[in-house]
Copies of this chain bind each other. A is one copy, B any other.
Amino acid sequence: MKGNVIAEISIVPVGTGDSGLSKYIADSIEVLEKKKDLSYRLTPMGTVIEGPLAKVMDAIREMHEVPFTKGVKRVVTNIKIDDRRDKVSSMSSKVQSVLKRRPSIKT
């Protein structure tokens, strides 16, 4: 069964001369707002994306390009893909299955 994967992407522009990165992150997430087949959620440490593997990977490549269009010369991008094919998985089902074990956990 090939359903949706859950991925996380974190883009770090290098050598910008400014320790703030929020403008690059905001611009890269604009890519996701235009993708009808993907869901996403910004977290304090990255952006979580849900969708078919091929489309998630394409979106990640587009997001990775964004800082270069703003003049950045080097980008280090970390990606984690959680791909489960024995049952349907989603961003919310992953969190819910942990909460079922321990409802006191904060999300």
Which residues of A pack against B, CB within 8 Å? 6-8, 10, 12-23, 25-27, 29-30, 33, 40-46, 48, 50, 53-54, 57, 61, 64, 68, 73-86, 91-92, 94-95, 97-102, 104-107
Contact = CB atoms under 8 A, between A and B. Distances in A.
A33 B80 CA distance: 23
Contacts of A86: 19, 73-74
A45 B15 contact: no
B8 A45 contact: yes
A interface, by DSSP: helix, strand, loop or mixed? mixed
A84 B74 contact: yes
Contacts of A98: 22, 25-26, 29, 42
